[in-house]
Structure 1
Amino acid sequence: MRHTLPLRRTLTAVLTTTLLAGGVLLGQTAAAEPAAAARITCNIDKLRSDAHKERTRAAQLRGLGAMAEARKAAARADALERRAQQCHDAENNNRPPLWK
């Protein structure tokens, strides 16, 4: 009978720890805000106008002979255009939830 007492204590401790950890995780997930609740908005016209300004700046830099800076400005313009297109696609391809 003596050898079962430590085993019983160990199993009880492990079970208690598991239940507490599960309860903490369950409480955190229930209280967490869903990712879809955060609303992200972007101004497509402003992104496109900023991209146009960067392209103009890149052309001016290229004309002055500053090729490295021109490449950076062109890369920034490409990134802004890509972001504007992503926002445009997200607005047009967005489906409402089933319950609405």
Structure 2
Amino acid sequence: MRTTTTARRVLTSVLATTLLAGGVLLGQTVTAEPAAAAKMTCNITQLRHDAQKERNRAAQLRGLGAHAEARKALANANALETRARQCEDAENNNKPPLWK
């Protein structure tokens, strides 16, 4: 008889603790703002301009014989161009909200 009472108390307290912890976590996830919801703006022309400057710098470095630095500048230019393309695609494929 005594083990049944102890087991019932332990199970009740474990269940209450679990529900309380789950409620706290659920409340935090509902109120937390998702990272993807942050507004982000891109200046596509500026990104492309910076990419072109990096490509010119890479060509100049290659002419001077600094091939490792030229590869880094070219990789940076490619990253800037990719970012500009991603921004342009996001701008073109963005659907307006249903209420507009």
- Please indicate the TM-score interval, normalised by the length of the shorter structure: over 0.9
Deviation at 1:98, TM superposition (A): 2.8
Deviation at 1:23, TM superposition (A): 1.0
Q: What's 1:57 paired with?
A: 57
Write the deviation string for residues 32-79 of structure 1: whole angstroms up to 9, x where unpaired: 124453111011111000000000000000111111111110010000
Deviation at 1:99, TM superposition (A): 3.7
Runs of at least 4 residues off by over 3 Å: 34-37
Change (3 A) 1:61 1:32: same
State the TM-score, normalized to the length of structure 2.
Answer: 0.92
Do structure 1's residue 25 and structure 2's residue 49 form an aligned pair?
A: no
Structure 2: 5+ residue runs without aligned partners?
none
Q: What's 1:44 paired with?
A: 44
Query: How much is the aligned-residue C-alpha RMSD, in angstroms?
Result: 1.3
Structure 1: 5+ residue runs without aligned partners?
none
- Cα distance in 2, alignment partners of residues 35 and 98 from structure 1: 23
The number of aligned residues is: 100
